[in-house]
Structures are given as C-alpha cells and as structure tokens.
Amino acid sequence: MKIFLKSNLIFFAFITLLSSCKNEQTYNFQGTGFGSYYSITYVGKENHKLQQQVDSIIADLNHQLSLFDTTSILYRINQGENLPYTEDMIKMFEISQKIASNTNGAYDITVTPLINLWGFGKDKKSTIEKSKIDSILQIVGFTKLKLVNNTIIKEDPRIQINFNAIADGYASDKIAHFLEKQGYPNCIVDVGGEIVALGTKGGKQWQVGIQTPTEDADGAIDAQFTFPIKNKAISTSGNYRKYTELDGQRYSHIINPKTGQPEHSSLLSVTVIADDCATADAYSTAFMVLSMEKTMEIVKKNPKIGVYFIYDEKGKFKVKKSPNFP
C-alpha cells in the first residue's frame, strides 16, 4: 500500500523566457546552495559580479542556519552555546511564529528531534516507537519559544530550532531584494524551487509552473499548470520526491508537529502564492499537514495568500484552488 505523506521544497520552477525588447537582454546564472540548486534570471546589463555576490549571500545564510555544519551559529546554539541570534534569524523567527499561530501549530520550527527520529536529519534513522515519539513531543511546540530583547528564549534547553522549512524562501527574498538594489528590478529568483518574481520581462509577466506529481523521486519533471506572476513569491510543498521507507511503507520528511508522525493524506502537493517567499514557503509546509478545508479557512482570513492543491482521488490527479490564485 502506497502512503502519501508530508513533504517540502518540491516546487518545479518552469520558467518561460518570453521574447525580449531590442534594447533589453536577459541573463541567467545557476549554482548550488542549501543542498539544492539556485537559478537567477535578470533583465538589463550583464554583471559578472552578481553570481559571486549571490554565492556570498547563500554562504552567509548557510553559516547561520545549517543543522549539519558543526561550525554554524544555529548548530552551536542548539548544542547549548550562548551565542547571539543574527538579524536574519530574528526575522525568520518572527515570520515562523506568526504562521505557526495562524495554522495552530501545523508549522513549527521545533520539530528537529522528530525529523531526526524519522531519519531525515543528520543522524541515521532509529527504531520508531510510540514511547520515543511521546518523549520527544515534550520538547516540541512553537509556544515553548518567545522573543525577548532580540533573543529567543527556550522553555526547555533541549528544544532544537530548525529554519529549514523557511530558509530557501527567505534566501530567495533576500537575493531578489539585493538584485533590485543593484539596479535589476526585473528578475526571477529560484532557490530550491522557492521563487520570487519581480517586475517583468519584455513588458510581460514571468511564467512559472507547478510540477506534475510523480510516482517516485526520480520521476520526469513536467509542468502540470503554468501561470503568469509579477511582484509575487511562490512555493510548493509535496510528498513525492523526498521520503524514507519503513517496513515497505513510504514516509515523507516533514512531520506533523502535533502527532510526531508524517501526515496520512491524499494531498500530493500544495502551492502557495504570497507577497514574500518566506511566508509562502512556511505556509506551503503547514498546509500539507492541514486538510484542504482547514487551509481554505485560513486563506479566507488571509487574502494576500492564494493556494493551489493537487490531490489523489482513486488514482487520478485532481486540483482545487482558492479564488485568488492566478
């Protein structure tokens, strides 16, 4: 029996480069970061320094946020060192706590011990036992954190902070704002599938697409739905590319913070459009845990975000979207 469960960062950036004006050139460069890829497309005069500058932004964020690099600031904080939180960390914390509150804890930055237990962290997968899950749940919960004088206070020192489900989106925002300040207001930034589209190309909106779900992690990439986007950000979470298998069953890598287990659902992917990519990234993670009905209730209360679902119904792909989605 195949089980579809919770995941993240599965957005396919299907970018269509439209025809440009005679006096306007489009340039693209690509690289790696956060264990994935990035792709930057900008309109204007070619600037060979941009890639090095973007690489520096990603390297700096990685040094702050990595849970795998033992020299990173967050890793050391999680190990108990008394280090100051950076400005980027505080910004991500504030966004994360707001979305955690709006989704009743479906999004939670304290889930690291559960992620490790299920084998998606730095350590190898251990035996999954209910007693272990119940024990870990005692130190999981966004309400166990608070911000005091730009310092994140933990209710329990064993609590681990994890910004992975917002880091790519935050990086896309930061890079897009950097490019804009450098004189490139027309650009599209894609970090690990988390996209920010600013301005236009040749006077026309950028085109992006949502990936068609695949049966396994190596399935062919194809666009299920394409649409125009301008001065917006978009993120997709899905359950079909990153997973582990246990006793013949498939478990996706994002865990329900309330139960400590992957969420069993017919939902295959959730795409969120928002004003900024950090917000879209975090909401797309949360909405994979929540039902479509609960998600729609949240979207109605937050008209600046739109949502597009792909779900399985008796072996067939079905789609549903909020009225404000393109």
pLDDT of 135 strictly over 90: no
Q: Report the SS3 class of residue 237.
A: strand
The C-alpha atoms of residue 212 and residue 261 are separated, in whole angstroms, by: 25
Spatial distance between the Cα atoms of 257 and 112, rounded to a whole number of angstroms: 10
For the chain, domain boundaries:
26-321
The CATH number of the structural domain formed by 26-321 is 3.10.520.10
Across 248-255, average pLDDT: 54
How does residue 260 score in pLDDT terms, banded at 50, 70 and 90?
confident
Structure tokens at 198: 């600013």
The whole-chain average pLDDT of the chain stands at 85
Model pTM? 0.86
pLDDT at 248: 46
Q: For residue 264, what pLDDT is reported?
A: 67
- Give pLDDT tens digits for 180-237: 999 999 999 999 999 999 999 999 999 998 887 755 544 445 666 889 999 999 999 8
Mean pLDDT of 136-144: 93
**Rounded distance, CA 299 to CA 273, Å?**
11
Query: How far is CA 55 from its chain centroid?
Result: 19
Of 58-62, 151-155, 225-229, the least confident? 225-229
Length reported for the chain: 326
CA count, 13 A, side-chain hemisphere, 198: 23
- Give the pLDDT confidence of 191-200 residue by residue, as tens digits: 999 999 999 9
pLDDT at 215: 56
User: For residue 79, what pLDDT band results from cuts at 50, 70 and 90?
Assistant: very high
Q: What is the mean pLDDT of residues 122-134?
A: 71
Q: What is the spatial order of strands in the sheet that 267-274 belongs to? A: 26-33, 36-43, 187-191, 194-198, 232-238, 267-274, 306-313, 316-321
Hey, is 191 helix, strand or coil? Answer: strand
Q: Where are the alpha helices (DSSP H) in the chain?
A: 50-65, 73-78, 87-102, 112-117, 130-137, 164-181, 277-289, 292-301
Rounded-to-integer distance, Cα 7 and Cα 14, Å? 20
